[in-house]
Each structure stands twice: as C-alpha cells, then as structure tokens.
Amino acid sequence: MEYILSVKNLKTDFVDGDQVVHAVDDVSFDIREGETFGLIGESGCGKSATCRSLIGLLKENGTVSGGKVIYKGQDITHLRFGEMQKIRGHEIGMIFQEPMTTLNPVVKIGVQLTESLPDTMNKGEKRKRAEELLRMVGISDAAQRLEAYPHELSGGMRQRAMIAIALAGEPKLLLADEPTTALDVTIQDQILKLLQRLKRDLNMSMILVTHDLGVAAQVCDHIAVMYAGRIVEKADVHTLFHKPRNPYTYSLMCSLPSMVKKGQRLEPIEGMPPNLKEMPAGCAFAPRCRYCEKICAEKTPELEEIGKGHYTRCHLWKKLEHVEGIVEREG
Amino acid sequence: MKKRLKGMPVSFYVGAVILFVILLMTFFPGLFTDQDPYTQDMNALLQGPSAAHWFGTDDLGRDVYARVIYGTRIDLAIGIFAMLVPAVTGTLIGLCAGYYGKKVDAVLMRILDVITAFPFIILVIAIVAIIGSGIRNMFIAIWCVGWKDYAKLVRSEVLAEKNMEYVAAAKTLGFSGARIMLRHILPNVIDGAFVYAISDVMMCMMVGASLSFLGLGVSAPTPEWGAIITGGRPFLTSAWWISIFPGIFLAVAGVAISFVGKGVAEKVKAK
Amino acid sequence: MKEFNYIIKRILQMIPVLLVVTVVIFAGMRLIPGSPAITMLGDHATPQAVEEMNEKLGLNEPLIVQYFLFLRQVLTFDFGNSITLNAPVWDLFKEKAVVTLTLTVMTGLFTLVISFLFGYIGGISRNKVVTKTVDTAALIFISIPEFWIGIQLMMIFGLKLGLFPVGGWGTTWGEHLHSMVLPAIAGGLGTSALMIRNIEEEILKIRRQDYVDFAYSKGLKKSVVRNRYILKNVMVSTITLFSMRIVYMFAGSVVIETVFALPGLGNLLMQAILSRDYSLVQGLVYIFAVIVLVMNLLTDISYSFINPRIKLE
C-alpha cells in the first residue's frame, strides 16, 4: 500500500538553557491516503512537536536531530526554505489550536485568504475563490466576512476562517494541531464534523493532534498514543479502543467520562508526566503505572508488534489481555 | 545579594564599575586631580591637552580636567535629586489615585491631561522663566513636572493590583487605607517605578545639562558639564577640548546608568 | 460616521483642557514678581507708559475680569505684541513655525528610516552578535544628550569639513533642507535609539507568534511573511511611541535650534525668555500646548485607523 506520509525514527530536540531535551524520541508512523491519523497524549508529550517537525515549523530552540519524514516518496526532512515553501500549504497544510493568535490581527480575512492562492489567478478570480472557500467552511455571508478583521469574528467563526485559509492552497494532507481545544463543546462538534466532511470532499488525508480520546475515537482511522516523547501504542482505532494493550492507553480511557461505560468508575491517572529533563530510567510511565513491576524501572521497553499493525511499548502488555471493549465507538 | 547579581549581563558589570568610579569622583575628586576647578591662569588660556592639563584649559585658563572631575558631583546630584522628589511624590499620588479611584482618580487624570499638554522641556523652561534661572529653580521646575510619569505608572499598576485577594483580605482585617497602600500594595507595584527611576536619573542629568546649556540652569563659574560645554561653544574651532570632554563624561555616565538599569529591569521582569 | 462622531467627541473633550491651560498660563504670568506692565515694558518704562499698559491689559480690573480679557485675546489669536521684537506674537509665530515644522518633519523622517532599518536588522537577524551590537549601540545613543551630539556634528561636519552650514537656514528651500541635515540627525539619534530597541523587542515577540508560523505553514514567501505579518504588526505597536516622540522632537526644537542657530519657534522662545519678553513667552507656550494637544488627538485618531483592534469610542 502506498503511504502519503511516512515518518521514520523522528527525533526532535529542544534546547532549554544549557540542557537538551528530547521532545520527540524515535517516533515512526505511516499515513495512508485518505485516512485520518490521530496523535494523542497529555500536553507536553511531544505530539505537537511531532506535528510541527513534519513541516519544519519548530520554535526557534528546536531542531529535528534524527530520522526522516517522507512525503509521497520525497524526503522532506531537511529541505531548503524555498523548497519547503512549495510543500507547505500546497501539499501539507496546517491548522492550529488558538484561532485568535493564529490569524494576523491587523490584516483582513480576505487578504489572508487570497495570499496563498496561485498567482495565475487574477484579482476577481481570487476573490471569488475566497468567497467559495468561506462558504465551504460554513460561513454564510462570505462576501462581508472577507472585509472583516479577525477580532470581529466569533471564536468558532475564526476557527472556520482559519481552516478555509489553510485549505486555500489545496493541501493533500492536513495537520490539525488541537483544532477544537480552544472552542466551546457545541462548536467543537461542528468543527470536527466540518473537518471530516472537508477531508472526504477534498480527498485529503489528515493528522489530528489531540488530547481528547473521545475526539480521536470519533474521527480517526489509526491512532498513535504518545507519552514523554515516545509512541507507546499504535493501532487502528478499533483495535486500540477495544483491545488496549498499554497501561497508559488504558488509564487514559478510564480517566475520561465519555470513554467509560455507565456504572464504571472514573479513575484519574495519578501523578504527573515526567519532566523531559529528568527522565526516569526504564519505562517513562512506570512511576504512574498500576501494573508496574521491577523490570519496568530497570529496562526501557521497546515498541513491539503484538498483533497485525498493533504495536505497544510495555514489558507487561500480556497482563492487559483480559481487557476488552471498554468503549463503544461513537458515531 | 550574590545570588541576585548572578546571571546579570556583562553590560551590567561594565555599568556598575563605571558608576563606582563616578561615585569616587563625586566624593573624592581630590583623588583624581590636584588642580582647582576655579583657579584662573591668565598665562595658560585656551591651551590644548597636555601633560599639565590633560583636557586643556578654557578661556580663563582654568583646567578643564579639574572642572570636569568636580562637575561630576554637581551633575550626579542633579540627576539624583531631580529624580528623587518626583519619584516619591508621584508614587504616592499614583497610589492614592489608583487606590481611592473615583473622584480622586478623575481629578488626577485631568491634572495629567493638562500637564501632558505641555511638552516636558517647554514646561520646565516656562517655569524657569517665571521663577528665574539657577540651580534651585531648575530643581523646582523639574519637580513640578517630573512626578507625572511616576503617578501614571503606579496608578495603572495599582488598578491592576487592588482587586487582588490580599487587598480584600487586608480590608476585611480593618487595616487603614494608608497601611494597606504602603504596606501591602506598594511593595507589589514599586518595581516598575524603580526601574523607571534608574533611567530617570540619566534623563534628569541630561535635562539638567540641557537647561544649563540653554543658560537656564547652573551658571558660570560652577563646574557643571552642561555649563562647561556652553562655555566652550564660542571656541569650537580653536579649542574643541572644552566642549568635548564634559560631553563624553556625560555620555559615559548616562551609558553606565542605562547599563545598570537594563540589568535591573531584566531581573525585575524575570521575577 | 462613527469616526466623525469620535473626532467631534475628542475635540469637545479638548476644550476643558485648553481652558485649564489658559488658567495655568494666566496664573503663571501673574506669579512673576513685580507688575506685569513693568515686566512687559522693561525696567526703564516711564510711569505714563506703565499706566497705559495697565489700562490696555486691563490690569486695573479685578483678577477674574483680567482672566476673561486674556481668554478673549487667546480665542482671537491675539496674543499682544512682543516688546523686544516689536511685532504681534501671532505674526512672529507664523513666521517661525515653518522652520520648526521643517525641522520636526526632517527629524521624524530621519528617525523612521534609521529606527526601522536597524531595529529590523537587529530583530530579524538570527545572529546573536548582530542583535546585541544593535541593542548596545542603541542604549549608548539613548544616553547622550542631543545638544552635545549637535555641537560635535557641527564641529566636525560644519566647521572642520565644511559640508554643512553651521547656523541659520538660508534663503532657498535647497539651503533650508541642507541646513536641516545636521539638526535632524542630532535631534533624531536619541529617539531612533529608543525606537530601535522598541522595534527589536517587538519583532522578537512577534516572531514567536502563532500567526507567523501559520503564515509559513501556508507556503508564503519569506518577503510576504516579513512585510505583511512581521513588519505590519511592528508598525502598529510602534506608532504610539513614534507619535509621542514627534511631540518630543517638536518641543526639543528649543535645544536643537539653539545649537544650530535656526530661526524657529524654539529659538524664539529662548530669546523671549532670556530677554524677559513675557507676552511672547505666554503666547508661545500657549501655542505649543495647543499644538501638542492637536498632535495627541491626531495620534489617537490615526492609531485607531491603523490598528483595527482599537475601536473608536
């Protein structure tokens, strides 16, 4: 099967003072054409850094220090700026978490929309296309909105506008970094449905970064769960939610109201994710893990294929074999 | 203290060392020169820099180096005293306006509106014009105007601070307004004013020198840097040394204060 | 319409401030020791002249009436005559204003060019040495008084090299502009330094914003991101400082014009003060205040046009 994007052993480092932190450590995954791939985990687990590494948009103190990102057979890991700009927006687009800070506050929506349209279009065509894009994301009075500044729109409207802007270059792969986190619950749902529809209509693939398992369960085909910069479990959505074979994935599910069956108790995960500057020896999740044994604190587990396309990073995954179907997939 | 100084930029230390030398000049000018800044020597008029007169002599045969060294005391005093009084009064006014709000605040804002209508230098000049020139009147003029920046600064900080819980707690405990303002709010709003005050010393020195240059501040024969520069103006082509050295001292002192202020500002910001 | 209402409202708000300004100036002039007539006419005036002056100024009337007489003068732009120059204050103002205006504009232009050039270089550069150098140089220039820079510039480029005139502003516009070069540099370096530091800081802040990342993620060219995203946002956040400094430059003409012997308002004011020409001082200070208020108003209005986030209220 042809993958639209392959990530192989990606490593991303951040310099913090005089320390180097491995925010993304040996992350690999493949994305099939047309699928939605979920990267999930708590904040600070490296999922956003992974996402930004894919198109070289790390903050100034970050660098990709190892591994490869292969888009349609082309290695795009260390492209020159000019080459990268041909990929960005036109092949791989990205939407961000906070629409208020993602849109340029002093430039009209219309300009922000038309500027990434191809230069072959004339002014009228660009404008028409911009209106079309706004209508596509569900903004009704498109012509007026083109003249609006970001602060004149509501939160949900801004997020829609941002999506329209990201889609102006007609990307084949959309990176969505927590696209619904900053929104109200009702609007969250609308935006998710919109993203799904657009993905289908425009024949895109999508990487969805989220901390919300419920959201991931709703829209993703494959999911990778990240913890402390590493992938700890990776599987198709059905397998992952029915047969979680990593204690961290399982604990995440048990801690979320939307995931737990009626009558079952909610169990928050004790403790905090490890500080990336002081990673514990052995399994990073061991200090918080209820299945933890001696080996976990001594030896770092490898990512192991335990079923077809189902990977987990746990010495003791067999202990979870009895766990089954704790959740019905919504939708 | 050691911990506090750690991690300061190099420029901070450079500034601190220069300031230390300037303080030495202020308190012990005799360490730097054995000449007298007032003694005239009619046999040595407008002489260029030499071993005997490092910075040359002026049109009355006075040693420019000695005058510049003794001038340190006056310029630094101008900077500090011109800053100090407005800093204290302005901070107190800003505290009251911010804390009591309503009418007190409205009155202050209108006063500020009027003062802002006059550019600083014009207002100071106008006041000096009314009360007459001289160092004392120059201070009065700067005092009349300088407090407004502190009042503005502190007021806006107090407005942000007064809704904090600790203020409400202090009120519940029945503390007086004065006590809450000075003991509780002031320590939390003083940082901004403090940082501003450091650079204000530099600005006041510059204003003082400028006023003396305009003939409205310190006048001859007192050795003040601005006044020495003015004294050298008629001899720019024949005796450049009279006006250049006091200016360099003024600039170096200003830079030193700015460097120290920048270091402190970054420390405060990081807190 | 909204804009129009806002402007009207702001102008109406200015009126009380202007009134208080007249009170302050009136009170200030009455604070001068001695009779205003004598201070205005000089110590050697004959008693007869003094009496005439008292009559003319309404000084025999009660204070409150005197104030309204003064107010009427002010409102009709009749600030009386300058004793020393023997001409109406308003005419003198009109004559000298063009010099100061030219100086302010030139200084402002110089400042804009220098500050955006170096602030941009310092802010956009990924080389720490460049950023630090620009930053430190700026800090040094903030700390040097304008009049001294002016004197040194005049000595080097005027007297030694003879490239620029050392005083006056000539007769033709070519000479006018030529003679303004050194004054504009002397008056603008300090403000440039201040703005360089501000712009640098702003660019560093803006470069970290999500919208810049988003712009790059759209595949935009570097030049588009820099102009439309970074520079445009920097301009919005720098315009307030710049307009405040324009007012400062206007007032700073007192010092610069004295250094370069330019026949402008600042020079006129200094002459008036040194020769104790109080009606001239009073008129000029009032005009300066009005100009500053108008400038502040224009700043606020232009700011609300440039920054779409500021609503006119």
Higher local confidence (pLDDT), B171 or A40: A40
What is the structure's pLDDT at A188?
A: 87
Do A57 and C219 count as a contact with CB atoms less than 8 A apart?
Answer: no
* Complex ipTM more than 0.95, yes or no: no
State the smallest CA–CA distance between residue A115 and chain C in angstroms.
Answer: 8
Do A107 and C216 count as a contact with CB atoms less than 8 A apart?
Answer: no
**Closest Cβ–Cβ partner in C145, C159, C273 for B210:** C145
A275: in domain:
yes
- Does one domain contain both A213 and A263? no
The mean predicted confidence, pLDDT, of chain A is: 87
What is the structure's pLDDT at B6?
A: 66
What is the structure's pLDDT at A330?
A: 45
Residues from chain A that touch C208, judged by Cβ atoms under 8 A, are: 59-60
N residues, chain B: 271
- Does one domain contain both A111 and A125? yes
- Does one domain contain both A119 and A259? no
A153: in domain:
yes
Q: Could you count the other beta carbons within 10 Å of the beta carbon of residue A146?
A: 21
Q: Which residue has the tokens 């002459």?
A: C271
Within A106-221, strands assigned E span 173-177, 205-210
- Does one domain contain both A188 and A246? no
State the smallest CA–CA distance between residue C251 and chain A in angstroms.
Answer: 32
Domains of chain C, each with CATH number or no CATH = 1-84+275-304 (no CATH), 91-262 (1.10.3720.10)
Element (H, E) at C193: helix C173-207
* CA C274/CA A263 separation, integer angstroms: 92
Q: Which chains touch C (3 or more CB pairs under 8 A)?
A: A, B
CA distances from C67 to B168, C26, C63, C72 (A): 47, 7, 6, 9
State the smallest CA–CA distance between residue B184 and chain C in angstroms.
Answer: 32
Q: Answer whether A81 touches C (CB < 8 Å).
A: yes
Q: Provide the token pair at A76.
A: 């795009």
- Does one domain contain both A221 and A262? no
Give B 193-252 residues with CB within 8 A of chain C: 202, 206, 209-210, 213-216, 226, 229, 233, 236-237, 240, 243-244, 247, 250-251
N residues, chain A: 331
Is pLDDT above 70 for C92? yes
pLDDT band at A329 (very low <50, low <70, confident <90, very high): very low
What is the structure's pLDDT at C313?
A: 42
- Does one domain contain both A181 and A241? no
**Closest Cβ–Cβ partner in C144, C252, C296 for B251:** C144
- Does one domain contain both A242 and A209? no
- Does one domain contain both A270 and A204? no
Do C274 and B215 count as a contact with CB atoms less than 8 A apart?
Answer: yes
What would the pLDDT profile of C59-72 be if each residue is shown by its tens digit? 777 888 888 888 88
The mean predicted confidence, pLDDT, of chain B is: 86
Residues from chain C that touch A90, judged by Cβ atoms under 8 A, are: 219
Do B125 and C269 count as a contact with CB atoms less than 8 A apart?
Answer: yes
Is pLDDT above 90 for C9? no
C308 — phi, psi (to 5°)?
Answer: -65, -15
- Does one domain contain both A194 and A278? no
Contacts A–C by Cβ distance under 8 A = 84
What would the pLDDT profile of A245-270 be if each residue is shown by its tens digit? 899 988 888 877 766 666 667 777 87
What would the pLDDT profile of A53-98 be if each residue is shown by its tens digit? 999 888 888 899 989 999 998 999 888 999 999 999 899 999 998 8
* CA B181/CA B177 separation, integer angstroms: 6
- The list of chain B residues with pLDDT below 50 reads 1
* CA A230/CA A301 separation, integer angstroms: 11
- One-character DSSP codes across B133-188: -SHHHHHHHHHHHHHHHHHHHHHHHHHHHTTSHHHHHHHHTT--HHHIIIIIIHHH
Contacts B–C by Cβ distance under 8 A = 122
Q: Answer whether B113 touches C (CB < 8 Å).
A: yes
State the smallest CA–CA distance between residue C294 and chain A in angstroms.
Answer: 26
What is the structure's pLDDT at A12?
A: 93
Q: Which residue has the tokens 């220090």?
A: A65
Is pLDDT above 80 for C33? no
What is the structure's pLDDT at C118?
A: 94
Which residue segment(s) compose the domain that A236 sits in?
228-320
Q: Provide the token pair at B228.
A: 């020495």
Which residues of chain C approach chain A closer than 8 Å at the C-beta?
126, 207-211, 213-222, 224, 228-229, 232-233, 236, 306-309
Domain count, chain A: 2
CB A209 within 8 A of CB A46: no
> Of A225, A255, A281, which closes a domain?
A225
Residues from chain C that touch A168, judged by Cβ atoms under 8 A, are: 218
Q: Answer whether B190 touches C (CB < 8 Å).
A: no
Do A151 and C308 count as a contact with CB atoms less than 8 A apart?
Answer: yes
Is pLDDT above 70 for C42? no
What residues pair up with A64 in beta bridges, in sequence order? A12
Residues from chain C that touch B244, judged by Cβ atoms under 8 A, are: 152
N residues, chain C: 313
Do C217 and A94 count as a contact with CB atoms less than 8 A apart?
Answer: yes
Give the domain CATH number at A164: 3.40.50.300
Q: Is the peptide bond prior to B86 cis by the omega test (within 30 degrees of 0)?
A: no
State the smallest CA–CA distance between residue B119 and chain C in angstroms.
Answer: 6
A87: in domain:
yes
Which residues of chain C approach chain B closer than 8 Å at the C-beta?
16-18, 20-21, 24, 28-29, 31-32, 136, 139-140, 142-148, 151-152, 154-155, 159-160, 247-248, 250-252, 254-255, 258, 269-270, 273-274, 281, 285, 288-289, 292-293, 296
Residues from chain C that touch B128, judged by Cβ atoms under 8 A, are: 273
**Closest Cβ–Cβ partner in A86, A96, A151 for C219:** A86
Residue type, B173: L
What would the pLDDT profile of A268-301 be if each residue is shown by its tens digit? 787 888 888 888 888 888 888 888 888 888 888 9
What is the structure's pLDDT at C100?
A: 94
**Closest Cβ–Cβ partner in A60, A88, A115 for C216:** A88
* CA B227/CA C149 separation, integer angstroms: 15
* CA B233/CA A15 separation, integer angstroms: 55
A328: in domain:
no
State the smallest CA–CA distance between residue A9 and chain C in angstroms.
Answer: 23
A331: in domain:
no
> Of A225, A257, A289, which closes a domain?
A225
What would the pLDDT profile of C156-202 be if each residue is shown by its tens digit? 998 889 898 888 888 889 899 999 999 999 999 999 999 999 999 99
- Does one domain contain both A134 and A244? no
Do B210 and C20 count as a contact with CB atoms less than 8 A apart?
Answer: no
What would the pLDDT profile of B180-207 be if each residue is shown by its tens digit? 888 888 988 888 899 999 989 999 999 9
What is the structure's pLDDT at A258?
A: 66
Q: Could you count the other beta carbons within 10 Å of the beta carbon of residue A84?
A: 17
Q: Where are the alpha helices (DSSP H) in chain B?
A: 2-5, 10-27, 64-100, 102-117, 120-131, 135-161, 165-172, 177-179, 186-214, 225-232, 240-270
A231 — phi, psi (to 5°)?
Answer: -80, 130
Do C17 and B206 count as a contact with CB atoms less than 8 A apart?
Answer: no
Instruction: Using the Cα atoms of residue A160, residue A162, residue A163 and residue A169 in order, give the sign of their dihedral.
Output: positive
Residues from chain C that touch A61, judged by Cβ atoms under 8 A, are: none
- Does one domain contain both A112 and A206? yes
Q: Which of C218, C224, C235 to mutate to test binding with chain A, by most A CBs within 10 Å of its CB?
A: C218
* CA B45/CA B53 separation, integer angstroms: 11
A232: in domain:
yes
- pTM summary value: 0.84
A282: in domain:
yes
A330: in domain:
no
Q: Which chains touch B (3 or more CB pairs under 8 A)?
A: C
- Does one domain contain both A185 and A263? no
State the smallest CA–CA distance between residue A12 and chain C in angstroms.
Answer: 18
Q: Could you count the other beta carbons within 10 Å of the beta carbon of residue B176?
A: 11
Is pLDDT above 60 for C312? no
The share of chain C scoring above pLDDT 70, in percent, equals: 94
Q: Nearest residue of A to residue C208 by CA position? A: A59
